[in-house]
Amino acid sequence: MNEQQPELGFDTASPSGSAYSTSAGKPSAASSARKASTSKELKDTLWKAADKLRGSMDASQYKDVILGLIFLKYVSDAFDERRGQIRADLEADGWSEEQIGAVIDDVEEYTGAGVFWVGEEARWQFLADHAKGRPAQGDRVAQTIGDLIDGAMDLLMGANPSLKGTLPRIFGKQNVDQRRLGELIDLFNSARFTGQGATKARDLLGEVYEYFLEKFAQAEGKRGGEFYTPASVVRVLVEVLEPDHGRVYDPCCGSGGMFVQAEKFLEAHGKDGSDLAVYGQELNERTWRMAKMNLAIHGIDTSGLGAAWQDTFARDIHPGLEMDFVMANPPFNIKDWSRAEDDKRWVYGVPPKGNANYAWMQHIISKLGPKGSAGVVMANGSMSSNSGGEGQIRANLVEADLVSCLVALPTQLFRSTGIPVCVWFFAKDKSAGKQGAVDRTGQVLFIDARELGHMVDRANRALSDEDIAKIADTYHAWRGTHAPAEYADIPGFCKSATIAEIKDAGYALTPGRFVGAPEVEDDGEPIEQKVERLSKELLAAMDESARLDAVVREQLGRLA
């Protein structure tokens, strides 16, 4: 899934030729960034530049400003690319400039190709040309760059119904530093993406959006977890479920990361993104807006997120719609949620008032079609808790043969919480068929992945491509998804257990209870000889320690 990145760089002129000015002969931000030649360097440079705005506004507003700018840059670039394609096609057919002019502003030529219509004063080049604002002229009052960006957002939402009510209009507010906002426009304008074509350049803008989401999540700590799930965790769900067709659903979709990774999975396997239709729901207004922009930047239809934000428990906006795949990272252990005891979703037991974990799971199961499957990130306590009737609900889920796999993940994957997490995988049908060549009816796969992962800094861990592949390959071998791999239990890592074995364990689903301890490698030395040898080595080490202790005491005595 890792693709070669386009060559990147900065120039004092944008692709369309507008100059990027400097002040008092000093090197500009763009000039100092010319050496940026990799995707990471570009994103780091843009982050540092954007961070200059932080001091004058709160974190959530700052996030809206930056992500809104990235979205505006994307839709304008996509519009310009489509405009160029239309012109090239018509010129190739021998059309005159007058004939081209009569067609090139036809809105349907853009919207029919999945491109947002961008009015002239909403286009990036217009904003770049007025990065320092627009002076008063005639009846027109003077406008700051923030006023112009707010106007651009209005034009976009007015011309594109699917964007109605989704874009931020906060750029002209008094607490936004207009000088620095203009500099940021200049910096984005000076970014030059060469070597891979316009489409790859827009793909990179999608990467930049995801990168900024991650950085904002890190900066906001616990609150950041409301909209961002670490990419390696999302990829575990995607690589195990392999959503390659039909409907994909996330009932608490955050910024839409599950959907983006599903599209990337299709792309990596040479499949068309149109094979998937995404459906989601999000309670938080700002997060819902972020998701709409994120999906749009990645070329994913946003209509499945509904016309507004909404509480999944209070009002399911996709009633009666059966899903092929569900991927979710619900908020853990929430106590204040919209609970109704007579809710038809509580087929396996009414969830307790003080914890919505089993409400999320039952809602997700209720959305699955006859062959549907789901992956849900949960707090580890969900695997063994018996409070509030959760133990009985868990037993009912197991006896209904809905649980297909439990994966215990390593700690420190989430910056937003220190709670250990796991992934529950559900399947409506575990028999042999298109969903897997091996009949796993009445069985559950347990994977203990707590020892996987690597530290990316002092506080945060991530799963590598190899770690993710190890988990996914184990599941697919167990399920018989990819021939000719065959499954075998690995002590300390994975175990296929029967429902009877799970019942004997009191329906506790902690993988460590089933996988056991790793096998100790046999070095050929009889155990009696090994114990005798190690005992002698330990006694010798203790004697040496005592000798050195005496020497130290003697030297200290001489100093006294």
Query: Where residue 483 falls among pLDDT bands split at 50, 70, 90?
Result: confident
Span of 56-60, 100-104, 471-475 with lowest mean pLDDT: 56-60
- Helices 390-399 and 357-367: crossing angle, nearest 10°? 30
On the question of pLDDT at 23 being above 60, the answer is: no
325, 248 Cβ separation under 8 angstroms: yes
Query: Where residue 227 falls among pLDDT bands split at 50, 70, 90?
Result: low
On the question of pLDDT at 64 being above 60, the answer is: yes
Query: Which tokens sit at 282?
Result: 């999000």
Span of 78-92, 157-171, 201-215, 233-247 with lowest mean pLDDT: 201-215
Residue type, 436: G
On the question of pLDDT at 19 being above 80, the answer is: no
Per-residue pLDDT averaged across 480-502, rounded?
A: 94
Read off the pLDDT of residues 65-96 as tens digits, 9 standing for 90 and up: 888 988 898 899 889 989 999 999 999 999 99
User: Distance between CA 316 and CA 258 in Å, rounded?
Assistant: 19
Specify the pLDDT at position 91: 95
Query: Where residue 503 falls among pLDDT bands split at 50, 70, 90?
Result: very high
* pTM assigned to the model: 0.79
Per-residue pLDDT averaged across 277-306, rounded?
A: 90
Read off the pLDDT of residues 333-389 as tens digits, 9 standing for 90 and up: 999 999 999 999 999 999 999 999 999 999 999 999 999 999 999 999 999 999 999
SS3 state at 164: coil
Read off the pLDDT of residues 216-225 as tens digits, 9 standing for 90 and up: 877 765 555 5
Residue 427 or 27, more confident = 427
Q: Which residues contact 336 (CB under 8 A, 6 or more apart)?
A: none
231, 430 Cβ separation under 8 angstroms: no
Residue 300 or 50, more confident = 300
Nearest to 167 by CA among 340, 11, 288, 16: 288
Phi, psi of 194 (to 5 degrees): -120, 160
Query: Where residue 120 falls among pLDDT bands split at 50, 70, 90?
Result: very high
On the question of pLDDT at 21 being above 70, the answer is: no
Per-residue pLDDT averaged across 250-271, rounded?
A: 90
Specify the pLDDT at position 61: 78
Specify the pLDDT at position 48: 79
Specify the pLDDT at position 522: 59
Nearest to 417 by CA among 452, 442, 381, 466: 381
Nearest to 358 by CA among 317, 327, 321, 395: 395
User: Distance between CA 83 and CA 165 in Å, rounded?
Assistant: 26
Residue 273 or 336, more confident = 336
Specify the pLDDT at position 15: 33
On the question of pLDDT at 30 being above 50, the answer is: no
User: Distance between CA 551 and CA 548 in Å, rounded?
Assistant: 5
- Name, of 77-81, 199-203, 516-520, the range with top average pLDDT: 77-81
- Residue located via tokens 């530093």: 177
Nearest to 70 by CA among 272, 290, 227, 254: 290
Per-residue pLDDT averaged across 386-401, rounded?
A: 97
Read off the pLDDT of residues 422-449 as tens digits, 9 standing for 90 and up: 999 999 999 999 889 999 999 999 999 9
409, 360 Cβ separation under 8 angstroms: no
Percentage of the chain beyond pLDDT 90 is 55
